[in-house]
Structure 1
């Protein structure tokens, strides 16, 4: 394989509005386990699962949309992408004692190594990147 090649392992799942966020977390946990992260990088797994919860919740709650969840491991970063049908881009808001929500993107910002949003013709995609601890070697099973 030459240096311009990239080997990646990926999984995708559509989560209709009536599906629980728990289903997204359980599905993601299964794939993190296949990478060996549940035993070698449990803190990173917790951060990934909380991010999955927040992004899928945002798609269902704010975009009033089904969520398409994609996980891609490229041997450097686990990319978590959630697509929904709303064109409104999320942004961290200042926390307020006057409202219950509004902290999801602040959590994503604190947990992910990096994150971004991209407008698409039929909505947007929010992608967060997680790198495992340096001592963890990962091979997809």
Structure 2
């Protein structure tokens, strides 16, 4: 299974109901299925990981991913919750804690963004050793997501770690 998609980050691919995607650079996704982005402030939050999972689970309910109608839909929702856990955990362990979680989706892609003040760059541990405890977070993100990356804050320290997963078909 490839973890790289055939179109650039932020481009959700051609619209199945419209013409092919334009050649202009894609705008980053910002809208959920009902014209909004879900945001959860996490600065100083106790229990940031379970709080982020609960927040995301509610968004998935509101957007019709849950309750899942098939095993594939259930697996897609579980993958989203696992990626949220991994991204927020990494921010807690390696980046002075998460500031905000953003969740948005359309008919094809769900995008997760975790904003933190850290200076490091997350990367899958290479070589990956399945039997070794810890250090599997970004490997899991890489395996489950269509794409992921890091955007540095141009106004100072910090970054946004983003990941995109396929919407259930």
Q: What's the TM-score, normalizing by structure 2? A: 0.70
Structure 1: tracts of 5 or more residues without a match? 135-141
Where 1:37 maps in the other structure, the secondary structure is coil
Residue 82 (structure 1) aligns with:
114
Q: Please state if 1:8 is matched with 2:31.
A: yes
Match of 1:19 in 2: 46
Size of the aligned set, in residue pairs, is 133
**Judging changes above 3 Å, is the alpha-carbon distance between structure 1 residues 29 and 88 closer, same or farther for their aligned structure 2 residues?**
same
Unaligned runs of 5+ in 2: 1-18
1 or 2, which has the higher helix percentage?
Answer: 1
1:111 to 126, 137, 144: 144
Question: Which structure's residues are more often strand, by fraction?
Answer: 1
Q: Deviations over 1:17-62 (max 9, x none)?
A: 4421111101100000111112242111100000000100111111
With a CA cutoff of 8 Å and minimum separation of 6, indicate the structure with the bigger relative contact order: 1
TM-score, normalization by structure 1: 0.82
Per the alignment, residue 130 of structure 1 pairs with 165
Give the match for residue 31 of structure 1.
59
Counterparts of 1:75 and 1:35 in 2: how far apart (Å)? 10
Q: Which runs of 4+ in 1 moved over 6 A?
A: 3-7
What is aligned with 2:90? 58
In the alignment, the residues of structure 2 paired with residue 62 and residue 90 of structure 1 have an alpha-carbon distance, to the nearest angstrom, of 9
